[in-house]
Structure 1
Amino acid sequence: MDAKNAILCCLLVVLVLHADHALAECGYTHPMMPFCKAWMCKAECWTEAKLLVAKVMDHKCMKGGIKGYCYCRFCR
């Protein structure tokens, strides 16, 4: 392998190892719920992620109790 190909291979390895994973396509929603509990929030986020073909990264109740809402973050 000549020097030019070796340099290109090294640069390719560096680019792959230093890829910015924050640039992955991510999104979030705030679904309203009659009663926000942790398990209900998890189920709601999981269902939305399945419909969007994504993976749940974070879920939590932002406002618990009656007329609460959930925070769901997912990435593809």
Structure 2
Amino acid sequence: MVRQVKVQEAKTHLSALLSEVEKGAELIITRGKTPVARLTPIDENPAREWGFVPYDLPASFFDALPADELAAWQQ
């Protein structure tokens, strides 16, 4: 279960809470009983690559548009 911390405790003990998060803990900061924020470690090495499928753009992708197509975009 994720530990919940009230705002006042988070303000008072921020350095200690950050140390917990650096070790992998996840904390929820609450205002009263209402959750308002989640403190989680940053994953410096995400496991997945961005994008949906591997794809290389063809060199022609960067060619200038033909004049009639360019004019259609400028309207």
The bucket for the TM-score relative to the shorter chain is under 0.3
Query: Would you tell me which structure has more strand in proportion to its own residues?
Result: 1
Greater RCO, 1 or 2 (C-alpha within 8 Å, sep 6+): 1
TM-score (norm 2): 0.27
More helix by share: 1
TM-score by length of 1: 0.27
